[in-house]
Structure 1
Amino acid sequence: MSDPATSDSRTNASEYSVSEISGALKRVVEDTFGNVRVRGEISGYRGPHSSGHAYFSLKDDRARIEAVVWKGTFTKLKFRPEEGMEVIASGKLTTYPGSSKYQIVIDNIEPAGAGALMALLEERKRRLATEGLFESARKRPLPFMPRTIGVITSPTGAVIRDIIHRIADRFPVHVIVWPVRVQGDTTGAEVSSAVAGFNALPDGIARPDLLIVARGGGSLEDLWGFNDEAVVRAVAASQIPIISAVGHETDWTLIDLVADRRAPTPTGAAEMAVPVKADLEAAVARFSARLKGAVSRSTQRKRDGLRATARALPSADMLLALPRRRFDEAASRLQRALVASTEAKKLRLRGLRLSPAVLSRRLTDAKARSERAAARLPNCFEAMVANRRNRLARDAMRVTPSALLRRLEAAGQRADSLGQRQRQSIDRAIERRRQRFEQAARLAGSLSYTKILERGFAVVLDSEAKLVKRALEVSAGDAVSIRFADGDVAAITAGDAPVRPKAKTKPSGPAGQGSLF
């Protein structure tokens, strides 16, 4: 008889290993679903992995499928995945033998219709608005007359030609073009890099005073690069004022909301950027003419006023007529007075009749008078002495002891009164000085550092009893004294404090002293 166990294992079914089954399933799935488009909602998206790959799921109301975007594909995606976003993913199905799962390897992602794009745009707009990037308070005024204008646009389109032509017609200035792609996957990165690049230029002739970001009209998908978050943040961080001229007047993007000024068209941006040179020249000419007329009228008014004032003033002849007449009269009187004075002096000189004999007689007479006066002088002196002696004798007779006593008593009373007044004055002066001294003592006590010591503070003195104000004034091992409110305590500094070394030898503290640091 045959073994039952052997008879049970002999069947017609082929035997496969787990790897063979997994490989067969992988080939079947990949051959059957080599290129598919799957519509679903992104779930479980947490951003790219540290390896650069992105893992998430696509789901609908009845099922879900795992999805993966490899690193090389993720960097080229036009639309980045976002949690809860409904998308159409293009790629191929494959299996993952390690966990017996199937998944889709995504090559491209696009929002599921214009409605999804608008929903994504509105959500991004709301999120950036909460950060204050669209506030009008942060927008800056445009320069009135820029010297250099930077244009960020495609160098081959009609937009740049329209801008340059319009600027040349209105007010020719230096235009620097930063070429970028205005449509496609790299639009956002190139525009944000261009804005940052212009701001990174050094101040001077190469750095623009104004930037224009321009593109022609198009659909929402065509303009999607200007809704990129990186572009919005680059424009918000720009130190140079920016004009947004993306699309036609009815088109709008997020860059229009964050830019300092929005232009309906690229041509309108050029008109906003520069004034009309002819209008400026006409205005300058008009102002120059008004200035010349004002100066002429002012000069004429001043000239008329000067003439009127000159007519009211007297002439020089009228002002000098009276002084000239007085001068002429004085000159005529002077001549006559000089002649008269000379004649009078002559008469007086003749009347003197001076001669040696006359002078000799006059000297003799004067000598005789002097001798007579000298002879009378002793008698006059004796008479004056006798007169004074008699007056002194009369005064001595009138001065009696009682009169002297009365005078002495009166003088003593006056001296007592003056002494009492002096003592009172001295007492008042001493009282005033004592009050001022007490006030000064109270003020000195309130300002004294001993009051601070009573509140728990201490004062550090060095070996010479000088105040230590800074830690840099002592070194490790210095002998110091700490003064408290109730006495002094000797101490020695220690530790690695940032101190300044001293040249002199540090005295060593006695035994039993404390440590300050």
Structure 2
Amino acid sequence: MSLPDDGTPALLAEQRSGDNAPALSVSELSGALKRTVESAFGHVRVRGEISGWKRHASGHCYFTLKDENACIDAVLWKGQAAALAFRPEDGAEVIATGKLTTYPGRSKYQVVVTRLELAGEGALMALLDKRRRALAAEGLFSEERKRRLPYLPRVIGVVTSPTGAVIRDILHRLEDRCPTHVIVWPVPVQGEGAAAKVAQAIRGFGALPKDSAIPRPDLLIVARGGGSIEDLWAFNEEDVVRAAAESPIPLISAVGHETDTTLIDFASDRRAPTPTAAAEMAVPVRAELVAFLAELGHRQSACVTRSLVRGGERLEQSAARWPAPANLFAPLAQRLDEVGDRLPRALTQRTAHARAELAAVAPRLQARLLNHRIERGQEQLASLWRLAELAHPERPLQRGFVRVTDRAGKTLVHAATARAAGEVDLHFADGKVAARVGDAATPRAFRPAKRVERGGSTSYPPGQPGLFDSED
């Protein structure tokens, strides 16, 4: 809608000559604003307190910078967020460096942060104190969680820089006191990514199996030389503190000089003022240990000797109060003599009684034994007689069998033997019949004939020989 010359609103918008305010689209206006803001505020440094810190799944971080009167949105892209030297938290006072831009999608402006730093040492200490109180409230620093260090560890794991003077001091001190197997896990101890590497090393040592090719340490030392609070900040990061608190291996923290304090010192099982002191805590002095063992051996020998001496003295004192051996054993000896005198008489008397008892029962025992033997003999004889009857050669003749013998009475069991004998005897149950063995190669025709029973005897028709009739 446009206004006519007299100022009255018109129904339709019209473009008039000399009009220096043409209508812009929303996108054109947003783009103009973006260019203007980025041109005027291409580089800014803003100091404020972090609020609403949020790390997106993409890795980008979104938050708000505020003071007592105003606030401004800020964004930290993934690449810059990974390079941060500390872990931002709500309430931390920081200085954000970047550029101001607009977000047309929501008609708002924000700071695209390229660098984020704590606003001075005071802000750093405030953040450190806040983090310390939060972790202490979780119980990570409680004394009940701290464990005793092993007296003489076989393997010591050291988490430190492999090129600094710290590892040389530790190894030299261990060599002087008590040579021990040392495994070094090299890590950066300051700068970008140092905290993540230190935490990874602590957890890596704890994850080693006991039967692996790399021996699992009995004790860990996390060490770094002295420096400013910014140099030691990696050991104040929450990830490092939690890794130290969760370590299954006892841990000594030796970060900085004696006056330096980091949060890992509160979570470790023992804090050493210096790396050299950590090596002294880790192992005893070998010479002192040998001397101590020798002293213990001497004391043990002295105790044994003293015990033997005192035992002998007590034995002598007790023996002095005992009666004389002759008086002590005299009643027993007399009792033994009396028993020895009575023993032969008792044996003679007992033998006589036994003989009398045996003489009284002997007749009954002999008769009973004789009857028993006779009965058993009769039973065995009857059994043998039955067996002999069954085995008698004439027994089968009762069932219709015939026994063939030669003229000498020898039993023939083979046809060849019978043919060789020529003349045989056929033994029946009721008598013997002589017979002659014919040639089997020229058998006679034989035709069974009807039997004729006459007068209780069996006969055959004339001309029909019997089975056992001999031929002349």
Q: Is the counterpart of residue 242 in structure 1 residue 251 in structure 2?
A: yes
* 1:91-240 to 2 correspondences below 5 Å: 91-204=98-211, 206-240=215-249
Q: 1:157 Cα deviation (Å)?
A: 0.8
Aligned partner (choices 86, 108, 111) of residue 79 of structure 1: 86
Structure 1 counterpart SS, 2:241: helix
8 Å CA contact 2:86–2:237 kept in 1: the answer is no
Q: Is the counterpart of residue 35 in structure 1 residue 43 in structure 2?
A: yes
Deviations 1:297-351 (A, max 9, x none): 55667778899979x99999xx9xxx9xxxxxxxxxxxxxxxxxxxxxxxxxxxx
Structure 1 CA distance for aligned equivalents of residues 66 and 303 of structure 2: 81
Structure 1 pair 150–8 and aligned structure 2 pair: CA distance change class (3 A): same
Deviations 1:393-442 (A, max 9, x none): xxxxxxxxxxxxxxxxxxxxxxxxxxxxxxxxxxxxxxxxxxxxxxxxxx
> Whose helix fraction is larger, Structure 1's or Structure 2's?
1
8 Å CA contact 2:73–2:109 kept in 1: the answer is yes
Q: Is the counterpart of residue 276 in structure 1 residue 285 in structure 2?
A: yes
8 Å CA contact 1:79–1:109 kept in 2: the answer is no
Structure 2 counterpart SS, 1:222: coil
TM-score by length of 1: 0.55
8 Å CA contact 1:195–1:235 kept in 2: the answer is yes
Structure 1 CA distance for aligned equivalents of residues 59 and 41 of structure 2: 25
Deviations 1:374-395 (A, max 9, x none): xxxxxxxxxxxxxxxxxxxxxx
Structure 1 counterpart SS, 2:106: coil
Q: 1:128 Cα deviation (Å)?
A: 1.1
8 Å CA contact 2:53–2:64 kept in 1: the answer is no
* 1:250-265 to 2 correspondences below 5 Å: 250-265=259-274
More RCO (CA 8 Å, sep 6+): 2
Quick check: which has more Rg, 1 or 2?
Answer: 2
Q: 1:12 Cα deviation (Å)?
A: 4.7
Look up the match of 2:19: 11
Deviates more, 1:72-81 or 1:260-269: 72-81
- Opposite residue 125 of structure 1, the aligned amino acid is R
Unaligned runs of 5+ in 1: 324-517
Look up the match of 2:413: none
Structure 1 CA distance for aligned equivalents of residues 301 and 67 of structure 2: 81
Structure 1 CA distance for aligned equivalents of residues 37 and 114 of structure 2: 17
* 1:421-440 to 2 correspondences below 5 Å: none
8 Å CA contact 1:68–1:103 kept in 2: the answer is yes
Structure 1 CA distance for aligned equivalents of residues 167 and 228 of structure 2: 20
- Opposite residue 49 of structure 2, the aligned amino acid is E
Look up the match of 2:73: 66
Q: Is the counterpart of residue 267 in structure 1 residue 276 in structure 2?
A: yes
8 Å CA contact 1:226–1:254 kept in 2: the answer is yes
Look up the match of 2:376: none
- Opposite residue 248 of structure 2, the aligned amino acid is Q
Deviations 1:77-99 (A, max 9, x none): 22333223221011122222333
8 Å CA contact 1:235–1:242 kept in 2: the answer is yes
Q: 1:292 Cα deviation (Å)?
A: 3.6
Q: 1:275 Cα deviation (Å)?
A: 0.3
Q: 1:151 Cα deviation (Å)?
A: 0.6
- Opposite residue 151 of structure 1, the aligned amino acid is V
Q: Is the counterpart of residue 26 in structure 1 residue 34 in structure 2?
A: yes
Structure 1 CA distance for aligned equivalents of residues 68 and 306 of structure 2: 88
Structure 1 CA distance for aligned equivalents of residues 312 and 134 of structure 2: 71
TM-score by length of 2: 0.60
Q: 1:206 Cα deviation (Å)?
A: 0.7
Structure 1 pair 12–305 and aligned structure 2 pair: CA distance change class (3 A): closer
How many pairs are equivalent?
316
Structure 2 CA distance for aligned equivalents of residues 6 and 287 of structure 1: 111
Structure 1 CA distance for aligned equivalents of residues 62 and 301 of structure 2: 78
Q: Is the counterpart of residue 287 in structure 1 residue 296 in structure 2?
A: yes
Look up the match of 1:424: none
Q: 1:239 Cα deviation (Å)?
A: 1.0
Structure 2 CA distance for aligned equivalents of residues 230 and 65 of structure 1: 29
Structure 1 CA distance for aligned equivalents of residues 236 and 289 of structure 2: 37
Q: 1:227 Cα deviation (Å)?
A: 1.0
8 Å CA contact 1:29–1:93 kept in 2: the answer is yes
Structure 2 counterpart SS, 1:58: strand
Deviates more, 1:130-139 or 1:300-309: 300-309
Structure 2 counterpart SS, 1:106: strand
- Opposite residue 41 of structure 1, the aligned amino acid is E
Q: 1:100 Cα deviation (Å)?
A: 3.3
Structure 2 CA distance for aligned equivalents of residues 51 and 145 of structure 1: 48
Q: 1:62 Cα deviation (Å)?
A: 3.5
Structure 2 CA distance for aligned equivalents of residues 82 and 280 of structure 1: 49
Q: 1:18 Cα deviation (Å)?
A: 4.2
CA RMSD of aligned residues (A): 3.2
Structure 1 CA distance for aligned equivalents of residues 14 and 323 of structure 2: 153
Structure 2 CA distance for aligned equivalents of residues 133 and 12 of structure 1: 69
Structure 1 pair 15–239 and aligned structure 2 pair: CA distance change class (3 A): same
Q: 1:172 Cα deviation (Å)?
A: 0.5
Structure 1 counterpart SS, 2:55: coil
Structure 2 CA distance for aligned equivalents of residues 131 and 225 of structure 1: 20
